A and B are shown apart, each in its own frame.
Chain A
Amino acid sequence: MNLAKTLMASTALTVAAGALAAQDMESPVAGEPMIDSMTLVSWGGAYQNSQQKAYVEPYIEMNPEVSATWDESSNEAVAKLRAMAEAGNITWDLVDVVASDAIRLCDEGLAMEVDHDDILKPAPDGTDASDDFGDLIVSDCFIPQIVYSTTFGYRTDMVPEGVDAPDSVCDVWDTETYPGKRSLERRPINNMEWALYCDGVAKDEIYDVLATEEGQDRALDKLDEIKDDVIWWSAGADTPQLLADGEVFMGSTYNGRLFSVIEEQDQPVGMLWDMQVFDLDGWIIPEDLEEAELNRVLDFLWFATDTQRLADQSAYISYGPARESSAPLVSTHAELGIEMAPHMPTDPDNAENTLLYNYEFWADYRDDIDAKFQAWLAQ
């Protein structure tokens, strides 16, 4: 749980730090030969747009000879990188993946191991990059950008009369008080943890329990209680659509999607922060890039992951910057003008009861539990 503490501390600094002058440090590869085009891989949608606005456009403004092409393939990045490596034809320069995929790519030797202090800019106060990102560097290949969370949204107009709005993740199981369908992601991760938590398992014992056969059965039994009321989703856009339709009463999705539904699309939706599950998203560099290609990527990364750029990104999407030093610089939404800090999953008020994606546990148990979960789904 070190990571959670770091996250809290980073937002707690919001008040303490003032504006700091940006340092004009050049990237370590400045002056070396570089190619002029980059293929960046990301998720499309609002998230890719925040990257485009916060650091790709400013970078191209500084280096007008450079052009960037987006490939919206992050979802299948692992499979595609494997195929590319097998065909000996890597066409990507920089790939945005979730931390668990970064760990897999790193283990398979498809992503390049980096020294974070060498290739990333120090914080404005001189702190080394590795200290600034802290525990969020979960793999030697992974360069974190944002912290996001998976959490629940609900239709405010479908809360029965005379009942308080849901405020606990266990309200998902309370179909008597809150009738209506639920939408959950079609995978065991997060659902199993929530099920055990709501079945009375203490938070710090969840993974000990889940490591046992009985614990897994217990979680599935708990999920069984609401199985008939669940619509399973697989794309991040599904739950917002189902909520907008009034098809479900509550459903899990990424906090940025809920922010967009509530603040940008103005739908009658509220959100829970209780037991939100933190996860990380960031860059990896594919292994075996040519030197001129690698130099361009490193030059771009030096800029795109500095303190100011990561803070800028939060003006376009409600995900928390991965650098501790960026937190104080989070300002207002680029179009709506609302204060973004209270919408960050890492804001102290929102982060009272949280869980962190357990990369080690799921790396070890994912295949087994996945098979069980799918068999249970098919029953």
Chain B
Amino acid sequence: MSDGIAITGAKTLPFSFTLPVVGAAGALFGLFAGTAQGATLLGVLGGAAICAALAWAALSLAGVERERAVKWGVIALFALAGLLVGRIAGAIVGALFGWFLGWFIYWIGRGRYRMFLPPYLTAGEVLWHYTFRVICGAVFVFLITPILVVMPLSFNAENFFTFTPEMLAFDPEGYSLKHYRDFFTSADWQQALRNSILIAPVATLLAVSFGTLAAIGLSSEHVPFRQAIMAVLISPMIVPLIISAAGMYFFYSRIGLQGTYLGVVLAHAALGIPFVIITVTATLVGFDRSLTRAAANLGANPVTTFRRVQMPLILPGVISGGLFAFITSFDEVVVVIFVGSANQQTLPWQMFTGLREQISPTILAVATILVCISIALLTTVEILRRRSERLRGMSPG
């Protein structure tokens, strides 16, 4: 509701509408709060009753003019209730809920939810308009919560994946950097980090070189069996990883590559090539072939044409493909377990064994670091993509 102009007037709606809606919202939150305390039914009924009562009090007793005061009152009320149940963490959750409830009461009760929608929409259409947004939000929460939960747990002062009472009370004693210290001082983790850093860039380099050449070759019309060759090159992305891994294991064992650094690099390059082919092929769609003919006409040989004309134009596709190839190698665990030996133990491998044998929050610390690296890389990809689109005039941004 931030930007935009009110196009439908607000009016106070009857309680026969407002109270059930607010009550239903209260019941939903009561369901969570009640289940957490071990009394689901009580939570649902209590939540509905309390929220409906508050809505009635706010809209009829306090009136519309004292909206601000009522909102602060609701926040204070729930913060206090939260404080009694769950100390500081409870107070924060309570205050957030109070803030939401205060806003929700007036949003429903005063009919503000229609303000920015065209007046001719039916009730069903309005309902769908907001349901759609709630579903999108729920999908987002579902995707992101597991990642967010990991981050605070990595600062745990204890050696378990547990939110301790001290952590929930925001007691500094409950937090520590010891798992990060463990990561940076333990020989095993440092060896794994070194292996990952040695393997991923080389695998990326190979994947980018071969993938780009393959994409350019496959996009010229005179190559026979283009579709079939493309399918074979893309197959590592489609075939289940465990099949590729087992196949590579037996093949590499025969030719003496199993358990070697080169073997892991080649395996990871094979996994990364499809990403490069796909992104580079996509950029080549917008590449004007007459440019290469013009360059040839001006006397440039094919290598110079590629280096000076074609490469700069498809560079964003090459780089984003390279980043995907890098992340593939950096995050890969199945193939390296088969193809590598103990000397090539990478970070994900170390995390995998660590998770099975010793549930230690060091894994969470590493996960947090890796998530940050992935976010940085993907942001770079997105910025490059926008820049290339802008340069080629494909989007107005």
Contacts and interface: CB of A to CB of B under 8 A. Distances in A.
A72 interface: yes
Interface in B25-57: none
Given A87-B258, A241-B161, A265-B158, A45 B342 contact: no
Contacts of B250: 83, 86-87
A44 B254 CA distance: 29
A245 B162 contact: yes
Contacts of A241: 160-162, 359
Nearest to A74: B357
B150 to A, nearest CB: 15
B152 interface: no
B154 to A, nearest CB: 15
Nearest to A257: B358
Contact of A87 (B254, B341, B343, B359): B254
7 A-B pairs with the lowest CB-CB distances in the bound complex, closest first: A87-B253, A71-B342, A45-B358, A44-B357, A244-B160, A45-B357, A89-B253
Interface in B284-333: none
A60 interface: no
B159 interface: yes
Contacts of A88: 253-254
Contacts of A235: 355-357, 359
A69 B195 CA distance: 14
Contacts, number: 65
B118 interface: no
Contacts of B353: 44, 72
B357 A244 contact: no
A75 interface: yes
Given A89-B259, A241-B359, A245-B160, 16 more contacts: A43-B357, A44-B357, A71-B341, A75-B356, A75-B357, A87-B254, A87-B258, A88-B254, A89-B253, A89-B258, A237-B355, A237-B359, A241-B160, A241-B161, A244-B160, A265-B159
A46 interface: yes
B354 interface: yes
Interface residues of A, number: 26
A232 interface: no
A236 B360 CA distance: 13
Contacts of A46: 358
Nearest to B254: A87
12 contacts: A39-B342, A69-B342, A72-B342, A72-B353, A72-B357, A75-B357, A83-B250, A87-B249, A89-B258, A91-B259, A241-B160, A244-B158
Interface string A14-47: 0000000000000000000000000100011110
Interface string A234-250: 01111011001100000
Interface string B340-383: 01110000000001111111000000000000000000000000
B174 to A, nearest CB: 14
A19 B285 CA distance: 81
A186 to B, nearest CB: 14
A16 to B, nearest CB: 37
A244 B342 CA distance: 31
Nearest to A48: B357
Q: Which of B162, B253, B343, B357 has the most CB of A within 10 A?
A: B357
Given A39-B341, A241-B160, A83 B359 contact: no
A36 to B, nearest CB: 14
A91 B359 contact: no
A70 interface: yes
Interface string A208-239: 00000000000000000000000000011110
Contact of B356 (A83, A237, A244): A237
Contacts of A86: 250
A241 B254 CA distance: 42
Contacts of B358: 44-46, 237
Q: Which of B161, B250, B254, B358 has the most CB of A within 10 A?
A: B358
Contacts of A84: 253
Contacts of B258: 87, 89, 91
Interface in B145-178: 158-162
A45 B359 CA distance: 9
Interface string A80-116: 0001101111010000000000000000000000000
Interface string B240-260: 000000000110011000110
A244 B164 CA distance: 9
Given A43-B357, A44-B358, A45-B357, A244 B162 contact: yes
Given A44-B353, A45-B357, A240-B359, A69 B161 contact: no
A45 B362 CA distance: 12
Nearest to A246: B162
A91 B359 CA distance: 28
